[in-house]
Each structure stands twice: as structure tokens, then as C-alpha cells.
Amino acid sequence: MGTNASGLSDPSKQLATQWGIDPNMLTGGVSYGSGDDDMRVFKGTSRRPTVVTKKTGGKANVIDPKTGAIGEVEGWSSGYGPEEEQDETDTVGNFKKEYYRKPPGELGQLKRRLWEAGMYDASVNWEDIRQNDYDDDTRDAWGRALGRAAAFYDAGRKLTVDEVIEMARQDAMTEEERLSGKRSTTSGPPRDRLSVRLTHPDDIKTEAMKVSAKILGRGWSEDQLNRFVATFQSMERAAQAQQYGATGEAGGTYTAAPDMATAAENEARRQDPVAAGATDYVGAYNMILEAFQTLGAGATG
């Protein structure tokens, strides 16, 4: 029983297609945490000729379509066919290294774009950013932009990291904030008032894009992502307000905000239970087929 590039068996791939699910989204789940450095970031597309082989009566040098190696093979010949468009990608881990490869004179422009896109923590004002230094705040902001670009590509949306940054710049902050170099959210309240810590919107969107692709077989739209950010941050506000009220002299208990991935999965299932059920069904079907294949191999071994 064969498997395709997505990791699904051929029958499961056919079943997924029948349900209208992109088989490439059903890879057994996106890795989280340190594995995110292995995710792919879209760089652009290129056109390359395909390699065509055909059977002949003599010897010929044949080009291996996978490795590009040339070898003499009896009875075959090869040549180039029509060009095909191919995605050019690289890993998040390799893209992270690009930050330290940039000349100091180019850092200022990158930092400004990241800041206007809201990729820095809300506590960072423009005047706090050291222009020609490889500081940790910018490293984290660059990683945040890469993570979001990788999540889009994993969900089937081909956006370069520059396009992701530009898209975020459209509504990340007001014109007044851009001109003043200060975020309105950083003017903190007096000490005796509640100070709420919210997860960065782009971190929420990145996680939500991964989870929606895994559960529904497709990533959420930008509008759906923005709505989930508002929903999840409202949960964080409510949990921290409850915690604040429970930490007086009398003490008390409070319920923490839900895990972000769990909240995203619950929301994805609530919004589209049919697609979520179909994805579950295809995944379970593939597991059953693999189990039977394993049993069959053991019986014949």
C-alpha cells in the first residue's frame, strides 16, 4: 500500500479528496515548539523544465529527476520537457540566521518595519530599539514574523515574510503611534489597578493558523484570525481580572485562561464541525489502514 508526499496512504488520500480536504494539510499534525524551526517559509516561485525519459534501443545518459545526477543506463534516453512552476522555500531556522547576517547599516530599516507591523512586544517603544545592534527584542520580533509566514504556508497560503510584515503593518497601530514612536498600550495604569498581560496577537494568529489547518484541512482567513485574537484575549482579560480579585487579603481561587491551542481547536470545531469531523474521519481511516498493513506484514514475516 503506497503513501504520498503528505504521509497519507493512497486510499486515505482519495478519501480526503472526496471530502474536499487538501491531503497536504493532513500530515499527522504540525509540530509545535522547537520543531517550528523545521517549518517552511515561502520565498517565491520559479519555473524549471521537467525531465522526460523514454525507452530506446541503445545506451544513453539519463538525468535522475530527484538528484540531478547523470548516469549511463541501458535502453533509456532522457530530455527536458515543458517548464513547471515550483515553490522556492527555506526553513524558519535558516531564515532566523539571516538576521545575524545582515550588515548593521541595514538593521534600522528592518527594525522599523517590524515595529510598525507590531511584531515587537507591546512594551517596546521605538526609542527603546538600538538601531545598529543585534538585540534580543528584534531577534524575537523577526522570529515572530517568520513563524507567522510559515504558518500561512503550512495552511496553503503563499506569503513571503516581507508580505506578512507588510500585511501586518496595515492595521498594527495608528498613524499617531507611528509618528510618536510610542505604543498607546504602554502607558500603564497606577500600581493599585489591574494590569493585564495579553499574548501578542501575532503569536495567537500563528498558533491558530497551525491548529485550524490541522483540524479543518485549511487555514483560517485573516478575518477569522482577527476574531479569534479578540476572543482569546478577552478570555485572558477575564482570567486575570478573576485572579486579581482573588489575591486580596482573604485570598481565593481563580480559573486560568485556556491553553491557546486548545481554545483554537475548540473554536475551529465549533465554526465548522463538518470539516473537523471529516478530517478526524480521514485520519482515523488512515490509522486503521496502517494497522492492517502492519498486521499483514507481521503475518508474512
Question: What is this structure's pTM?
Answer: 0.50
Mean pLDDT of 248-267: 74
Segments making up each domain of the chain, as ranges: 1-30+196-301, 90-187
Q: Which of 113-122, 149-158, 280-289 has the lowest mean pLDDT?
A: 280-289
Where is pLDDT greater, at 91 or 190? 91
Q: Tens digits of per-residue pLDDT, 39-52?
A: 899 998 888 776 66
Q: Is the pLDDT of residue 262 over 60?
A: yes
Q: Is the pLDDT of residue 1 over 50?
A: no
Q: Is the pLDDT of residue 194 over 60?
A: no
Q: Is the pLDDT of residue 26 over 80?
A: no
Mean pLDDT of 17-21: 61
Q: Is the pLDDT of residue 34 over 50?
A: no
Predicted local distance difference test score (pLDDT) of residue 143: 92
On average, the pLDDT of the chain sits at: 74
Residue 212: C-alpha distances to residues 6, 23, 168, 219 (Å): 17, 14, 20, 5
Q: Compute the Cα dihedral for 28, 33, 38, 42 and give only its sign.
A: positive
Residue 221: C-alpha distances to residues 73, 156, 226, 227, 251 (Å): 50, 11, 9, 10, 42
Q: Compute the Cα dihedral for 204, 210, 216, 221 and give only its sign.
A: positive
Where is pLDDT greater, at 250 or 184? 184
Q: Tens digits of per-residue pLDDT, 50-95?
A: 666 665 555 555 555 556 665 655 555 556 667 778 889 999 999 9
Mean pLDDT of 213-227: 87
DSSP per-residue letters across 253-288? --PPPPPHHHHHHHHHHHH-HHHHHHHHHHHHHHHH
